[in-house]
């Protein structure tokens, strides 16, 4: 897939977007991980 | 026109997609290992019964704890009904591995044994089965977690490990 | 495309009727929210409401049915009518067909409401058999669903007519998203339609003696999860197709927006078993397959997060925002239309985190049927969706009525923030107390097994729920004040359709072709559901007579 640079000022680097999303991913790992650890702490089921 | 067409995926967005997929793969691996290598499993079909006769015929006509290997292995046959579990008090020794077989004779119920991973939907006509091992003494409530009518909120029982 | 097409007064009125019923429904449904929340906090007001309302469960049924099923369906069909005709710049192909669909939904609403208000259908909005409601409850729901189908068919005919008039032109994004929503919905509702028509209606009418509750659950959740996407996709239509403009910028990627919508069509339905992880009658292997498919539907939402936030960053930078995150403050937060959608998006981050947790197969054992679950879906349907719809209302009601919003932006903003703050408190408390083991759907004030450690969280449930109630009634007041204003400032509102940074004509053709995606959708459905449906149907046992147990 080729990149297009068709218009002047419309191109910008969404770095702030990346920062927000990385914060989101870290929160996701933390919160999901904590529930996963609760699962592990409560013992097997078979 | 056609030659100008393209997906225009921004390089940052490409990395974001890669990261998202990678994250999901990690989560999926963690879940799969816990489930299939270590035994953190969800219920799977065990047996079917006739809810109209289950309270009078078969193992749930006489619900309760069965000792298979003293001190080690037990089966608990529990009948859910509006609005009580039969039996609603169970006592097992420390170290006991207990397999729960739960069904309902009327409407749907839930069966959640607190502070363990036993959490099952109780569906009339189906047998819900999961196993747990109790390594420490204590008291666990098993509560009905599905709305089952007027007095749903009082439906619970107690399992004592001693 | 008809030159100079303007949405007519009659069409605006027709859309307005949808909103009227939606707002009435949510106004009544939300009356019960604080009653449930305060009950958790130890203040049970239900005894004082007798004999008008019989119980917590009747209230909870009304809350779920009116808010989650009626409010959403009416708002969505109304909003999507506008995105269809405004986007295509042509009137509905068969306006009478859409009118039939709409009034069928209204009749369905009334037919459902009567038994529910009379405590003859206190079965909650999932109506799991063999708990038996009066037959009119099931009939009414059927009419609502079929009415929404008919409105959807009206959109398809309109699109088809437009397509013949405009070969080769990209479908406008908002129209496109709306059409996908309706098509997905028609696949999805096949489950609940089958459940009601083959089992619940004949059973509640006394034609058959019992039901198969396990099969009923499978049918129900065939519809139940995509139902969430039916609520969510219209909010995405606004986030992709309108919010960039409202924020002062452009859509970052037209092609990825469309790609995400197609993935939602493909993946929204074949994953219902992730609501049935703890069901006894579904094999673990099939549950695992649906877990994988549920993970995959997380991707289009991740795409959406990127595209929408990047569009906002573009807007914020154009408005003079500097630095890595300075553009956030430069966004038009003072505009309630924008702030509502931004806050909806923030809450949806946490809705997504909870969602991926629920979907994670065995991890679900920790949270299944606990207060965590309503805590979660209040972040999706009551935040991402409802808060977005509130924001949409703040331009849509003025657009439809020609009247300026009845309150200042500041007051509308207070409404938006009130809902947000209440939701943060409420949903956080629900998640935490759910992790501690509190069951959902239970008047915990009556439960004899409540440990002391839950009480602080349950108090927060009550506080959050009460604040949300204030926020909801501010919304109802603002909409009513605008719509019924006698002395008003006339306004001409433009429907806020966002431009895309790249010309949509440059979006690849395969992102505007229906047939391959429809074939893929059907094929995936057959793979993910076919064998289990065949198995469960061929082993059907209609032996659970059930009854009225409330």
| DSSP secondary structure, C327-374, as one string | HHHHS-TTSHHHHHHHHHHHHHHHHHHHHHHHHSGGGHHHHTTBTHHH
Neighbouring C-beta atoms of residue C132, cutoff 10 Å: 23
Q: Is residue B113 part of a domain?
A: yes
A33 touches chain C (CB under 8 A): no
Catalytic residue among C18, C93, C376, C460: C376
Give the gap in angstroms from C-alpha A34 to the nearest C-alpha of chain B: 12
Active site annotation includes C156: no
Phi, psi of C59 (to 5 degrees): -60, -45
B120 and B155 belong to one structural domain: yes
Q: Is residue B47 part of a domain?
A: no
State the average pLDDT over residues B13-37. 97
pLDDT at A8: 42
What element of type H or E holds C15?
A: helix C9-29
Answer for the pair C220, B132: CB distance below 8 angstroms, yes or no.
no
Verify whether the Cβ–Cβ distance A36 to B132 is below 8 Å.
Answer: no
B25 and B97 belong to one structural domain: no
Verify whether the Cβ–Cβ distance C357 to A24 is below 8 Å.
Answer: no
Answer for the pair C224, C284: CB distance below 8 angstroms, yes or no.
no
Q: Decide if pLDDT at A5 tops 60.
A: no
Positions in chain C whose pLDDT score sits under 50: 1
What the block records as the tokens of C152 is 């959807």
Answer for the pair C496, C395: CB distance below 8 angstroms, yes or no.
yes
What element of type H or E holds B65?
A: strand B64-69
Cβ contacts (< 8 Å) between A8 and chain C: which residues?
none
Verify whether the Cβ–Cβ distance B34 to A39 is below 8 Å.
Answer: yes
Q: Is residue B50 part of a domain?
A: no
Give the gap in angstroms from C-alpha C409 to the nearest C-alpha of chain A: 27
- Burial track C348-380 (b if 16+ CB lie within 10 A, e otherwise): bbbbbbbbbbbbbbbbbbbbbbbbbbbbbbbbb
B26 and B65 belong to one structural domain: no
Cβ contacts (< 8 Å) between B142 and chain A: which residues?
none
Answer for the pair C24, C67: CB distance below 8 angstroms, yes or no.
no
Interface test with C, best of A17, A19, A33 (most C CBs within 10 A): A17
In this complex, the chains that touch B, judged by 3 or more CB pairs closer than 8 A, are A, C
Answer for the pair C34, C56: CB distance below 8 angstroms, yes or no.
no
Cβ contacts (< 8 Å) between C356 and chain A: which residues?
28, 32
B31 and B103 belong to one structural domain: no
Catalytic residue among C163, C319, C368, C440: C440
By DSSP bridging, strand B138-143 and strand B109-113 are antiparallel
B14 and B76 belong to one structural domain: no
pLDDT at C2: 52
CATH number for the domain spanning B143: value is: 2.60.40.420
Residue with tokens 């919003």: C405
Number of domains in chain B: 2
Which chain C residue lies closest to B17 (C-alpha atoms)? C303
Answer for the pair B127, B46: CB distance below 8 angstroms, yes or no.
yes
pLDDT at C503: 85
State the average pLDDT over residues B45-69. 97
pLDDT at A1: 37
What the block records as the tokens of C69 is 């099923």
First to last CA, chain A: 48
Verify whether the Cβ–Cβ distance B125 to C440 is below 8 Å.
Answer: no
For chain B positions 60-79, those within 8 Å of chain C (CB to CB) are none
What element of type H or E holds C100?
A: helix C95-117
B44 touches chain C (CB under 8 A): yes
Q: Decide if pLDDT at B43 tops 70.
A: yes
pLDDT at B3: 52
Write the DSSP string, C140-195: HHHHHHHHHHHHHHHHHHHHHHHHHHSTTPPPPHHHHHHHHHHHHHHHHTHHHHHH
Q: H helices within chain B, ranges in order? A: 11-32
pLDDT over 70, % of chain B: 98
State which fold the C9-538 domain adopts. Cytochrome C Oxidase; Chain A (1.20.210)
If pLDDT is split at 50, 70 and 90, which confidence band does A10 have? Answer: low
Cβ contacts (< 8 Å) between A6 and chain C: which residues?
502
Residue B129, strand partner residues: B101
B76 and B18 belong to one structural domain: no
Cα(C190)–Cα(C223) distance, integer angstroms: 7
What the block records as the tokens of B27 is 């989560």
Q: Decide if pLDDT at A6 tops 60.
A: no
pLDDT over 90, % of chain B: 93
Total CB pairs under 8 A between chain A and C: 67
Answer for the pair B103, B45: CB distance below 8 angstroms, yes or no.
no
Q: Could you list the residue range(s) of the whole structural domain that residue B131 is in?
A: 59-161
What's the pLDDT tens digit per position in B71-87? Answer: 999 999 999 999 999 99
pLDDT at C509: 87
Of C279, C369, C544, the CB nearest to B145: C369
Verify whether the Cβ–Cβ distance B145 to C508 is below 8 Å.
Answer: no
Where are chain C's structural domains? Answer: 9-538
B157 and B82 belong to one structural domain: yes
Q: How many angstroms from the chain centroid is the CA of residue C23?
A: 14
Verify whether the Cβ–Cβ distance A46 to B16 is below 8 Å.
Answer: no
Q: Decide if pLDDT at A7 tops 50.
A: no
pLDDT at C3: 60
B65 and B139 belong to one structural domain: yes
Active site annotation includes C348: no
Reported ipTM: the value is: 0.96
Active site annotation includes C236: no
Q: Decide if pLDDT at A12 tops 90.
A: no
A2 touches chain B (CB under 8 A): yes
B28 and B71 belong to one structural domain: no
Residues 6+ apart with CB under 8 A from C514: none
For chain C positions 77-106, those within 8 Å of chain A (CB to CB) are none
Cα(C57)–Cα(C74) distance, integer angstroms: 24
Active site annotation includes C229: yes
Rounded to 5°, the CA angle C481-C242-C248 comes to 95
Q: Is residue B46 part of a domain?
A: no
User: At C500, is the secondary structure helix, strand, or coil?
Assistant: strand
C514-to-B36, C148, C159, C262 alpha-carbon distances in Å: 39, 21, 12, 9
Answer for the pair B128, B117: CB distance below 8 angstroms, yes or no.
no
Cβ contacts (< 8 Å) between A43 and chain B: which residues?
116-117, 132-133, 135
B116 touches chain A (CB under 8 A): yes
C234-to-B118, C22, C37, C181, C487 alpha-carbon distances in Å: 38, 15, 28, 7, 32
What the block records as the tokens of C164 is 């013949």
B94 touches chain C (CB under 8 A): no
B30-to-A37, A40, C23, C362 alpha-carbon distances in Å: 11, 11, 44, 10
């Amino acid at each position: 897939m080729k990149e297009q640079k068709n218009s002047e000022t419309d191109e910008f680097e969404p770095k702030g977007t990346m920062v927000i999303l990385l914060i989101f991913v870290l929160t996701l790992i933390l919160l999901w991980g904590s529930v996963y650890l609760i699962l592990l702490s409560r013992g097997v089921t078979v | 026109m056609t030659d100008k067409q393209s997906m225009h995926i921004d390089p940052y967005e490409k990395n974001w997609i890669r990261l998202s997929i990678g994250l999901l793969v990690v989560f999926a691996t963690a879940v799969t290992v816990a489930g299939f290598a270590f035994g953190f499993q969800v219920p799977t079909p065990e047996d079917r019964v006739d809810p109209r006769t289950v309270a009078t015929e078969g193992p749930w006509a006489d619900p309760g704890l069965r000792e298979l290997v003293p001190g080690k292995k037990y089966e608990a046959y529990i009948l859910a009904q509006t609005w009580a579990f039969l039996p609603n008090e169970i006592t097992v020794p420390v170290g006991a591995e207990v397999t729960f077989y739960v069904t309902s004779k009327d409407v749907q119920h839930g069966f959640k044994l607190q502070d363990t991973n036993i959490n099952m939907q109780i569906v009339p006509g189906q047998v819900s089965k999961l196993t747990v091992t109790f390594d420490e003494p204590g008291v666990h409530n098993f509560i009905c977690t599905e709305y089952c009518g007027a007095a749903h909120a009082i439906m619970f029982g107690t399992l004592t490990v001693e | 495309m008809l030159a100079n097409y303007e949405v007519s007064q009659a069409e605006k009125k027709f859309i307005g009727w949808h909103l009227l019923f939606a707002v009435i429904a949510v106004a009544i449904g939300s009356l019960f929210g604080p009653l449930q929340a305060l009950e958790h906090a130890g203040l049970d007001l239900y005894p004082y409401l007798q004999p008008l309302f019989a119980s917590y469960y009747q209230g909870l049924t009304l809350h779920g049915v009116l808010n989650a099923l009626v409010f959403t369906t009416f708002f969505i069909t109304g909003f999507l009518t506008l995105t269809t005709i405004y986007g295509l710049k042509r009137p509905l192909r068969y306006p009478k067909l859409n009118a039939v669909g709409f009034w069928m939904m209204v009749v369905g609403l009334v037919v459902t409401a009567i038994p529910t208000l009379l405590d003859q259908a206190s079965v909650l909005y999932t109506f799991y058999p063999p708990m038996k409601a009066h037959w009119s409850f099931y009939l009414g729901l059927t009419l609502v669903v079929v009415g929404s189908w008919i409105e959807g068919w009206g959109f398809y005919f309109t699109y088809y007519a437009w397509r013949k008039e405009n070969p080769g032109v990209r479908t406008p994004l908002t129209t496109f998203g709306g059409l996908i929503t309706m098509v997905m919905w028609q696949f999805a509702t096949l489950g609940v339609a089958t459940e009601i028509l083959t089992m619940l209606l004949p059973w509640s009418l006394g034609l058959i003696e019992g039901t198969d509750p396990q099969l009923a659950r499978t049918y129900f959740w065939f519809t139940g999860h995509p139902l969430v996407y039916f609520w969510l996709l219209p909010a995405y239509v606004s986030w992709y197709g309108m919010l960039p403009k409202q924020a002062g910028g452009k859509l970052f990627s037209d092609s990825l927006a469309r790609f995400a919508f197609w993935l939602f069509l493909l993946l929204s339905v074949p994953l219902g078993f992730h609501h049935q992880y703890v069901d006894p009658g579904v094999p673990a292997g099939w549950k695992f397959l649906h877990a994988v498919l549920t993970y995959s539907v997380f991707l289009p939402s991740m795409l959406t997060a990127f595209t929408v936030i990047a569009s906002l960053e573009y807007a914020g930078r154009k408005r003079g925002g500097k630095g890595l995150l300075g553009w956030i403050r430069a966004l038009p937060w003072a505009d309630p239309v924008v702030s509502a959608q931004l806050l909806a998006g923030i809450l949806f981050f946490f809705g997504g985190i909870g969602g991926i947790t629920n979907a994670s197969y065995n991890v679900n054992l920790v949270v299944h049927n606990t207060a965590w679950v309503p805590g979660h879906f209040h972040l999706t349907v009551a935040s991402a969706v409802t808060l977005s719809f509130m924001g949409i209302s703040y331009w849509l009601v003025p657009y439809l009525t020609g009247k300026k919003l009845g309150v200042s932006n500041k007051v509308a903003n207070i409404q938006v923030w009130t809902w947000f703050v209440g939701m943060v408190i409420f949903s956080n408390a629900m998640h935490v107390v759910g992790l501690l083991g509190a069951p959902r759907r239970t008047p915990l004030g009556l439960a004899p097994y409540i440990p002391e450690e839950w009480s602080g969280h349950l108090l927060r449930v009550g506080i959050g729920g009460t604040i949300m109630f204030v926020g909801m009634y501010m919304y109802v007041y603002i909409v009513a004040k605008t719509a019924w204003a006698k002395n008003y400032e006339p306004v001409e509102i433009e429907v806020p359709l966002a431009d895309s940074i790249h010309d949509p004509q440059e979006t690849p053709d395969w992102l505007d072709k229906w047939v391959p995606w429809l074939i893929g959708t059907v094929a995936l459905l057959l793979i993910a559901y076919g064998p289990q449906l065949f198995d469960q149907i061929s082993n059907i046992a209609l032996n659970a007579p059930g009854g009225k147990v409330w």
